[in-house]
Structure 1
Amino acid sequence: MIQLEQARTVIAAARAHGREHGLKPLTVVVLDAGGHLVAMEREDGSGYGRPQIAQGKAAGALAMGTSSRVLGDMAADRPQFIAALSVAWEGKLIPAAGGVLIRDAAGTLLGAVGVSGDLSDKDEEAAQAGIHAAGLAQG
């Protein structure tokens, strides 16, 4: 399981990446491998629904064992499947880039990070920067 201090490092580094690259205000959520909230920060000016979107990106990645970017690709190829998953999971799946699995050096799944606030590709870059800064691996 991801530790609170690791989650805080992921969040701080994701936010720092956002500031360094001029991204819109971000919301960053870290879930443990069981899908439980470990930490969340919403920057000033980040939109009302951003925590739920960030959590949905991370939760979808965990539930399907792949990044939310891949889930977005699946939604384009198999929209009925993703729609069915969304219904089954009561709308808690956001199939857009920005949700990334977090692993340790041995490849053990620790959890996932979800970022929302800018374009999905930029959200994903911030998530990846946070994981890297914490000395962890993505995927």
Structure 2
Amino acid sequence: MEIGIERARTIIAAALAAGQAAGMKPLSVVVLDAGGHPVAFERADGASPGRFEIARGKAYGAVMLGMGGRAQAERAAQGPAFMAAVNGAFGGRVIPVPGGVLVRDANGRVLGAVGVTGDTSDNDAEAALAGIAAAGLHGEA
């Protein structure tokens, strides 16, 4: 199983809807496959144009490191040198904060990651989790 475009669209629509329902600022959502490649992206009206790179950086770190943004942030706090080295290895493309959510299937296999940006990092993660759940998948924030 892979995420695929239809699941990616479901994730994005549900994440944006969750953000709007919760009164969050305009969100941007990207879905990456297990190789870190974008499957789909959408930016809500009013979201700043630079949000794609932020959303992708959050999701990219999750899929490449096999851990959600919260775990990455904790790792960065405990070992900033490690995260700096990781970011160097990945060309500066990792943003280790909540809002990057690993996507797993029912068997725990990594299918990719979702990156959400636009509100607080914790709110971004909650919107991502709502989108992932709407697609019948499991998120690891």
Shorter chain as normaliser: what TM range? over 0.9
2:7 counterpart letter in structure 1 = Q
Q: 1:47 and 1:77 mapped to 2: Cα distance? A: 31
Could you list the structure 1 runs, at least 4 aligned residues long, displaced by more than 4 angstroms after superposition: none
| Offset from partner CA, 1:86-113 (integer Å, 9 cap, x none) | 1111110001100111111122211110
- In the TM superposition, what is the alpha-carbon distance from 1:49 to its structure 2 partner? 1.9
1:47 match: secondary structure: coil
Query: Are 2:4 and 1:3 equivalent residues in the alignment?
Result: yes
Q: 1:113 and 1:27 mapped to 2: Cα distance? A: 10
State the TM-score, normalized to the length of structure 2.
0.95
Aligned length: 139
Equivalences for residues 13-28 of structure 1 within 5 A: 13-28=14-29
In the alignment, structure 1 segments of 5+ residues that lack a partner are none
Hey, what does 1:32 align to over in structure 2? 33
Hey, what does 2:80 align to over in structure 1? 79
Q: 1:103 and 1:84 mapped to 2: Cα distance? A: 26
The RMSD of aligned alpha carbons is 0.9
Q: 2:40 and 2:68 mapped to 1: Cα distance? A: 19
2:85 match: secondary structure: helix
Q: 1:35 and 1:47 mapped to 2: Cα distance? A: 23
Hey, what does 1:69 align to over in structure 2? 70
Hey, what does 1:94 align to over in structure 2? 95
Hey, what does 1:118 align to over in structure 2? 119
Q: 1:64 and 1:37 mapped to 2: Cα distance? A: 16
| Offset from partner CA, 1:45-79 (integer Å, 9 cap, x none) | 11232110110111100111000111111111111
Q: 2:90 and 2:107 mapped to 1: Cα distance? A: 30
